[in-house]
Structure 1
Amino acid sequence: MEGPDAERVLALHEGEHLLYRVLVPADTKRSVLTEVVDRLSLAHWREAVEAVREGGRRDADTARAEASTVLDTTVAALRALGRDADGVITDDDPVPALEAAVQQHGAREVVVVTRPHAVEETFHRDWASRAREVLGVPVLHTYAGTGQVG
C-alpha cells in the first residue's frame, strides 16, 4: 500500500489516533490457473503469459522478500502520514493471524487492501471474504491503486 491507498485508509477515521497493524501474507503458494484467469480478467495479457511460463513455481524466500517489501512500504506510508503503524508477515493464509490480531488489539474494524483476484472473489474464497465470516467486526476490502471497494 502506497501513498494514495494509505490516504484512503486513513480517511476512514480522520481525526482519530489509532494504531494501524499491517499483516502481509507471504503468498508462497499460488494456483497457476487462478493467477492466469485473474490476469486475463484484468486484460493483463503479458502477466498472464508470465504466470504460465512460471508454472506456479515460486521460491519461498522470494515470496517472503516481496512480502517484506510490501510490509515496509506500507508501514512507511502510514508513518509518513503521521500514524502509528507496525506489522508482520503472516503465513500464506492470513485469516488466522488476522483473527488473533483483532482479538489481541481489540480492533473494531479491518481494512484489507489487495490486488483484484477475480476467481477467488467470485466464489468468495478470497481472504477478505473469509475474514468477514470469522472476525465479528466489519471488513472493508479495497483494491490497491484503484480506490475501488471489493
Structure 2
Amino acid sequence: MTATIVVLTEESLNEVDITNLRYLIQDNPARFEVLVPADTGRNLLVDVLDNLSLLQFAEAFRDLTGGKPTKDQETKAAEVQLSESLALLASSGLEAGGSVTGEDPVQAVVAAAKATNAQQVVVITTPHAVEDTFRTDWANEAQERLGVPVLHLYSGSGFIGGS
C-alpha cells in the first residue's frame, strides 16, 4: 500500500529536503502531496523579530522597507516554488502532486490530509524564532487539528523544528 505524506513548504524544496523525505519513507512506497501557500499570513513585526534573532540584519531591514508583494506576485511565486519542488521530487524518483494554497496554509494541510487519507504531515520551513518559541508555527497548529504525526523540518538542514 502506498502511503500519502502531505508536505507544506514555504519555499522550493531543495536537495537536502529531498534527502530528508527519502530518509523518512525508507524503501516504503509513498506519494507526496506538496502544498505551497500563496499567502503565508506572515506578520511584518514577527518577520523582523525572526530575522533579528537569527542575526539577519539585512533581511530585517528589507522587511521594514521593502513593502509587501501583491497577491498576484505571491501567487506567481508560489506557483514557481511548487513547480520547482515537484520537478525535483520527480527527478529524484519520488511520486508527487501538489497545489498552491490560499490564505490559511494549516487549513489547507488539514483538508489535504483528510482528502488523501495521509499517514503523516511534514512541514518544511526556515526557522521562525517567535513562532517556534511560542509553539504557534504551522506544524504545531496542524498537530492540534489532525490525528496524524506532524514533523517539522528546517529547510535545507536535518534539524527538526520545535513541534
**Structure 2: how far apart are the matches of 1:66 and 1:147?**
25
In the other structure, the counterpart of 1:79 is 90
Residue 42 (structure 2) aligns with: 30
Is the Cα contact below 8 Å between 2:15 and 2:156 reproduced in 1? no
| Count, aligned residues | 149
Structure 1 position 130, deviation (Å): 0.1
| Higher strand proportion | 2
Q: Please report the TM-score for the alignment, with normalisation by the length of structure 1.
A: 0.93
Partner Cα separation in structure 2 for residue 73 and residue 118 of structure 1: 27
> Which SS does the other structure have where 1:128 is aligned?
helix
Query: Does the 8 Å contact 1:6/1:74 carry over to 2?
Result: no
- Give the counterpart letter for 1:4 in structure 2: V
Pairing 1:41-52 to 2, within 5 Å after superposition: 41-52=53-64
**Unaligned segments of structure 2, at least 5 residues:** 1-12
- Unaligned runs of at least 5 residues, structure 1: none
Deviations 1:100-136 (A, max 9, x none): 1111111111111011111112111111110000111
Say which of 7, 11, 14 aligns to 2:26: 14
1:18-68 CA distance string (max 9 Å, x none): 11000111126431111101111111111010001024x221111112111
Letter in 1 for 2:64: V
**1:96 CA displacement:** 1.4
Task: Answer yes or no: is the 8 Å Cα contact 2:14–2:85 preserved in 1.
Answer: yes
